[in-house]
Structure 1
Amino acid sequence: MSSDEFAPPIRPAAPSRRTFAGSRSVAALILREMATSYGRSPGGYIWAILEPIGGIAMLSLAFSAFLRSPSLGLSFPMFYATGMLPFLMYIELQGKISSSLNFSKPLLAYPTVTFWDAILGRFILGVMTKLLVSYIVLGSIMTFYETRVTLDFLRILESFSLASILGLGLGTLFCYVFTRFPMAQQAWGIVSRPLFLISCIFYLYEGVPEPYKSYLWYNPLVHVIGIMRTGFYPTYDAQYASSVYVLSISMISLVTGLLLLQRHHAELLSS
C-alpha cells in the first residue's frame, strides 16, 4: 500500500471560518467605502444630508408659489420628502452597487474577498447612510413645520425596505452588465434621467390621466413612493401599490445578476 492511503483526508475550511473571513472582508470594504466616499471631500457626510434638503427646498419653493397646498397634507416639504427620500435610497444603492466590481477590483485579487463581499459592503453602508439621512430630514421637517402627519412605522419601513431591495437587485444585475459592456452604463444614464419626473415624487399617481397612468404603474418606484406616503398620511389609500410587484422585479434581477457574476466574475476581473 502507498502512504497516500493512510494520509488524513483534506477537509474544507469550516463554515464558521469562512463566515468570519467574509465578515471581516465586508467590514474592511465598508470602512474603505466610508473613507473614499465621505472622507476625502470637505464636509463628508454633511453633503449627504444637504443633497435631499436642497432638492426638497427647491421643490417646495417652486410649487408653493403656484399652489396653495400640496396634494396631501399641509406641508410642501413633508410631501416632497416622502417622495424624494425613498427615490434617493434606490438611486444611491443602484448606482453604488452597479459599480462595486470596478471599484473593488484591486481587492478582489485576494482569495478571501469575493464579488459578493464588495456588493454587500456597499449595500450595508448605503442603507445605513440613507436611513440616517432620512431620519434627520424627516425629523427636522416635523420639528419646524406644521405637518399633522400620523406615522405608520411598518409602512415606512416597508417602503424603505422595498427601495433597498430594488436597488440591490437592479444594482447587482447592472454590476455585470456595466462591467461586461461599459457603453451600457452611459446608455442607462441617459435612459434613466426621466425617472425623477415619472416616479410620482411631486404629484400623486391618481392625478395622472390615462393612458399615462397605466404606463406609470410599471415603474416600481411609483409603488415604493405610494407605500411611503401611506405611512404618513392615514387618509391616503394607495390601492395601486403592490409590494409583490416590486419584490418580483428585485429578486429576478438579483438572482440573474448573481448567476451571471458567479459564472463570469473571473473573466470580468481579468479584463
Structure 2
Amino acid sequence: MRSLRVPRAMQTIMALVLREMATSYGRSPGGYLWAVAEPVAGIALLTFIFSLGFQAPPLGTSFALFYASGLVPFLIYSDLSGKLSQSINFSLPLLGYPRVTLADAVLARALLNIITQTLVSCLILGGLLVLFATQATPNIAILAQAILLAFTFGFGVGTLNCFLVTRFPVWQRIWSIANRPMFLLCCIVFTFESIPMPFRDWLWFNPIVHVVGAMRQGLYFGYSGAYVSVTYVLFLSLGLSVLGFFLIWRFKDRLLNR
C-alpha cells in the first residue's frame, strides 16, 4: 500500500496543477503572456525613469539589466508567496475529497508557479543579455542559486501565510499593507553598498536583499556582494516552511470547517 501512495499523491498534485493552469491563465486574455509582460513593463518603466536622471546604472552599463537583476527575484518571491497564501481558499471545494490533502493544494500551486517563474526569468534575463550590449558575464551556477533562493524564501513565507490568511482572513490585509514598502527595501533600484550606516545594518536582515545580491553576483563579474549570506536565507526559509506546514497540519480541521 505504501508504494501506491506516492504515485497517487503525484497524480493528485498534477491534477491540481492542470486545474490551476486553466483557472489562472486560461480564462484571461493573453494567458501566460501577462506573466512575461508584467516584469518586462516594470523593467522598461524603471529604465526610462532612471536613465533620464543618471548617465549610468550603479553596476554595469545597462539600466535594463541592472533593474532586472533586482526586479526578477523580487517578483519571484512576491508572486510565489502570494499564490501560496491562497492555496487552501483556492482549492477548498476539492479538499472534501479523501485523496486531496492540504499539502497537495500547497505543493500544486508551488510547482506551477516555480515552473512559470523559471521560464519567465530565463526569457527576461536571456533576452536582455542577447538583445542588448550589456557587457555582462553571467555565471549560470550563481544565477541558478539566486533564483532558487528566491523560490525558497517565497515558499517559506507563502506556506506560513497560507495558514494565517486561511485561519485569520484579516491577515491578508495586514500583510498587504506591511509588504508595500518591500519594493523600496530590497535594493532593486540601488546597491546595498550605497546605503549609509546604520540603515545598512538594519537592511541586512531583509532576506530579499541577499537574493538580489546573489543575482547581481551572477550577472556582474567582479561584484563581490560580500554581505550575501546564502545560509541565512536558507535557514530562515526552512524555518518558515516547517512552521507553516506544522500549523496547517495542527489546525487542519479548523481550516476546513470554517
Could you tell me the TM-score, scaled by structure 2's length?
0.99
Q: CA deviation at 1:177?
A: 0.8
Distance 1:114 1:150 in 2: 45
Q: Secondary structure at the match of 2:196?
A: coil
Structure 2 gap ranges (5+): none
Q: Secondary structure at the match of 1:50?
A: helix
2:196 aligns with: 209
Q: Secondary structure at the match of 1:53?
A: helix
Deviation per CA, 1:204-242, whole angstroms, max 9, x where unpaired? 000000111111101000000000000010110001010
1:1-271 equivalences in 2 (<5 Å): 14-271=1-258
Distance 1:16 1:74 in 2: 55
Amino acid at match of 1:92: D
Where does structure 1 differ by over 4 angstroms across 4 or more consecutive aligned residues?
Answer: none
RMSD: 0.7
Structure 1 gap ranges (5+): 1-13
Which has the larger displacement, 136-145 or 198-207?
136-145
Q: CA deviation at 1:150?
A: 0.8
Distance 2:126 2:228 in 1: 25
Distance 2:117 2:50 in 1: 25
1:6 aligns with: none
Deviation per CA, 1:46-103, whole angstroms, max 9, x where unpaired? 0111000000000000000010110000100000111111110001110001110110
> Who wins on radius of gyration, i.e. which is larger?
1
Q: Percent identity?
A: 46
Distance 1:187 1:267 in 2: 21
Could you tell me the TM-score, scaled by structure 1's length?
0.94
Distance 1:54 1:194 in 2: 20
Which has the larger displacement, 122-131 or 138-147?
138-147
